[in-house]
Amino acid sequence: MQYALEGSQALARTVALCRPQVIAAYPITPQTHIVENLSKLIADGALECELVSVESEFSAASVVLGAVAAGARAYTASSSQGILLMSEVLYNIAGLRLPLVMTCANRAVSAPLSIWNDQQDSMAVRDAGWIQLYCATNQEAVDTTIQAYQIAEQTELPVMVCVDGFTLTHTLEVLDIPDQEQVDRFLPPFNFERGLDPSNPISIGTLVSPDYFTEARYDHHRALNNAQQAIVATAAAWGTVCGRHQDALLGVDGPQEARFGILTLGSIAGTLLDAREQYQGSPATRLLTLRAFRPFPADAIREACGGLTDLVVLERALSPGSGGIVGNEVRAALSEMHDAPRVHNFTVGLGGRDVPLDIYPRIHEAVRAGSGIPFDILDLEPHKLPAAG
Amino acid sequence: MIEIRIHGRGGQGNVVAAYLLAAAAFEEGRYVQAFPNFGAERRGAPVTAFVRISDSPIRRRCQVLEPAYLIVQDDALLHLPDITAGLQAGGPLLVNSNRDSAELAARLDRTVVALPASALAQEILGRPVPNTALLSAFLELTGLLPRAALIKALGERFHGAVLDNNRQLVERAAAQVSAGAWQEDEHAVRA
């Protein structure tokens, strides 16, 4: 059914439809009101679930780790500094192959202190061994959250659903919230075969000597790569249930004959779609929206880049001393491609800086002026910089 | 697509005003987007929020840079030098103020309608929260949406006596402005 809802509200209702049994969260900044809304649903009796309000994100992640290990469907959400405080536990959740779903409401990481949107937080834990799916709209966030439980429980890998903080979480818009019956049909009750059981005690997370550590890590790497198939199949299956097309690994929009492409992830995608219509004088442009960042869909990216001479990777994070994070990975993937496009890498929208429509002609202009831009911050305002030290 | 910017102060229900206007348009079958310009969330600080209303899905996620209308919840904010920044040529302002519309119009060199929204709210709700009265006056001036849509959106948020009082406030505020005064304005083109 269609509603006009704020992103956080929509996500809370969607999580509730997935029937989590345990939710643990640190309730204040940098929390969003996803868990606040969930706590209301529980207090109102609309959701039967154990809510554990904890004193830190480290504890939140630890509680849901234990809950999933004991066979419960669980949920948590955080962002920014909270994600970093969780990071040790995030590695453990992944390494233990626990099928948890969490929302990262993407926000900048301090210092300087910022409460606003960029994607530095989830990028900082890209190597934790989680599946990471980025959402371009609140509708995608709703649909992806439901799919995330199925992907997690099929692959026994945790899934982080990345949703741009404020830009999506605090924006009210029109979206469809599926029926409980649709979600129940799609998402059977969680039955964790490795779940801890007092009548059949086992130990998990024990010491692994060098004899086996490499194999455990490789097995995890292989599982993440293989998860691409589950992501694709789940998107198709949910598409059949909800009647909406679901991009799985990445979305491709624009003419096949285009020679210019822009790859981005998250909510900038919609602005670029509108801008392409508005600035028709710019060269024909294919827009690629990366949904799965982990596993990294190198084959799908190469295929989507066929025929391009220039590809701009536009991202909302920065690896100081190196440059773009996604840009470097795309460049590495395309190095194995015959007739690969030149890759230009721009960071924009750090710490909540607005990404306006005219970013689109500015991208075209910057690429026209340069000959292969390794990395630049496109919306930098140089007059605000201190003198170089 | 119609784009509106709402100015207020933290604690005045600025974001709620944006959400209510969008929710009212949704009740009329429009596509909508409403979001705050995420400033530091402290009581009394100047804050802005944006609303987009359209007949087709809204894809852009950028801030509203060139609004067709401004709604200003506190007339002291009119002293901010950039209050009308980006407002389209001929774009009018609806201001919560006890002052005279003509006086404010002369000062800003813009079309201005002043409405004593806080006073009306104080009288009817017992709290000086100006947003409901301003939204009702805005819909009356522009003819953008029927009053019933706003009342329906209020009904999603409030119940019982609070809803009844808000309904009364909607009627009172609408009666204080000239219906359709901004309807012939080029900015009042239906979204």
Same domain, A83 and A123: yes
Contact A346, A373 (CB under 8 A): yes
Please indicate whether, in this complex, the C-beta atoms of B61 and A355 are within 8 angstroms of each other.
Answer: yes
**Beta-carbon count within 10 A of A312 CB:** 26
Is A201 part of a structural domain of the chain?
Answer: no
Q: Which residues does chain B have within 8 Å of residue A28's beta carbon, measured at their own beta carbons?
A: none
Same domain, A276 and A375: yes
Pairing state of beta strands A159-164 and A172-176? unpaired
Same domain, A232 and A265: no
- Could you tell me if B38 lies within 8 Å of chain A, comparing CB atoms? yes
Please indicate whether, in this complex, the C-beta atoms of B18 and A273 are within 8 angstroms of each other.
Answer: no
Is A199 part of a structural domain of the chain?
Answer: no
Q: Closest approach of chain B CAs to the CA of A217, in angstroms?
A: 39
Report DSSP letters for A223-292, one per residue.
HHHHHHHHHHHHHHHHHHHH-S---SSEEEES-TT--EEEEE-STHHHHHHHHHHH-TTSPPEEEEEE-E
Please indicate whether, in this complex, the C-beta atoms of A171 and B19 are within 8 angstroms of each other.
Answer: no
Same domain, A172 and A261: no
N-to-C CA span, chain A: 57
Closest CB to B38 among A170, A274, A357? A170
Same domain, A151 and A259: no
Closest CA to A142 of A50, A24, A30, A16: A16
Residue-number span of the structural domain to which A178 is assigned: 2-190+206-242
Pairing state of beta strands A2-6 and A172-176? antiparallel
Please indicate whether, in this complex, the C-beta atoms of B38 and A116 are within 8 angstroms of each other.
Answer: yes
Q: Closest approach of chain A CAs to the CA of B27, in angstroms?
A: 9
Same domain, A160 and A302: no
Same domain, A222 and A121: yes
Is A52 part of a structural domain of the chain?
Answer: yes
- Could you tell me if B34 lies within 8 Å of chain A, comparing CB atoms? yes
Please state whether the predicted TM-score (pTM) of the whole model is above 0.90: yes
pLDDT band at B40 (very low <50, low <70, confident <90, very high): low
Is B190 part of a structural domain of the chain?
Answer: no
A21's CB contacts (< 8 A; 6+ apart) are A49, A50, A67, A72, A73, A74, A190
Pick the residue from chain B with its C-alpha nearest to A165. Answer: B38
Average pLDDT over residues B173-190: 78
A263's CB contacts (< 8 A; 6+ apart) are A250, A288, A289, A290, A301, A311, A312, A313, A314, A326, A330
Same domain, A238 and A255: no
Is B62 part of a structural domain of the chain?
Answer: yes
Same domain, A285 and A218: no
* Domains of chain B: total: 1
Please indicate whether, in this complex, the C-beta atoms of B61 and A271 are within 8 angstroms of each other.
Answer: yes
Is B92 part of a structural domain of the chain?
Answer: yes
Q: Tell whether the model's pLDDT for residue B191 goes beyond 50.
A: no
A&B contacts, CB < 8 Å: 66
Please indicate whether, in this complex, the C-beta atoms of A174 and B26 are within 8 angstroms of each other.
Answer: yes
Pick the residue from chain A with its C-alpha nearest to B57. Answer: A174
* Torsion angle of C-alpha atoms A222, A224, A230, A231, degrees rounded to 10: -150
Residue-number span of the structural domain to which B106 is assigned: 2-185
- Could you tell me if B62 lies within 8 Å of chain A, comparing CB atoms? yes
* Domains of chain A: total: 2
Is A389 part of a structural domain of the chain?
Answer: no
Q: Which residues does chain B have within 8 Å of residue A116's beta carbon, measured at their own beta carbons?
A: 38
**Any idea what the CATH number is for the domain that residue B169 is in?**
3.40.920.10
pLDDT for B185 equals: 57
Is B33 part of a structural domain of the chain?
Answer: yes
**Any idea what the CATH number is for the domain that residue A126 is in?**
3.40.50.970
pLDDT in tens, B49-103: 999 999 999 999 999 999 999 999 999 999 998 999 999 999 999 999 999 999 9
Is A197 part of a structural domain of the chain?
Answer: no
Per-residue pLDDT of chain A (389 residues; tens, 9 = 90+): 999 999 999 999 999 999 999 999 998 888 889 999 999 999 999 999 999 999 999 999 999 999 999 999 999 999 999 999 999 999 999 999 999 999 999 999 999 999 999 999 999 999 999 999 999 999 999 999 999 999 999 999 999 999 999 999 999 999 999 999 999 999 999 999 999 999 999 999 999 999 999 999 999 999 999 999 999 999 999 999 999 999 999 999 999 999 999 999 999 999 999 999 999 999 999 999 999 999 999 999 999 999 999 999 999 999 999 999 999 999 999 998 999 999 999 999 999 999 999 999 999 999 998 777 899 999 999 999 998 76
What value, to the nearest 5°, has the Cα angle with vertex B139 and ends B136 and B141? 105
- What CA–CA distance (Å, rounded) separates B149 from B31? 14
**Any idea what the CATH number is for the domain that residue A338 is in?**
3.40.50.920
Q: Closest approach of chain B CAs to the CA of A349, in angstroms?
A: 10
- What CA–CA distance (Å, rounded) separates A372 from A55? 48
Same domain, A144 and A279: no
Contact A112, A70 (CB under 8 A): no
Is B25 part of a structural domain of the chain?
Answer: yes
Contact A304, A250 (CB under 8 A): yes
Q: Which residues does chain A have within 8 Å of residue B58's beta carbon, measured at their own beta carbons?
A: 173
**Beta-carbon count within 10 A of A240 CB:** 10
Same domain, A279 and A321: yes
Is A386 part of a structural domain of the chain?
Answer: no
Pick the residue from chain A with its C-alpha nearest to B65. Answer: A356
Pick the residue from chain A with its C-alpha nearest to B49. Answer: A171
Same domain, A214 and A357: no
Residues in chain A: 389
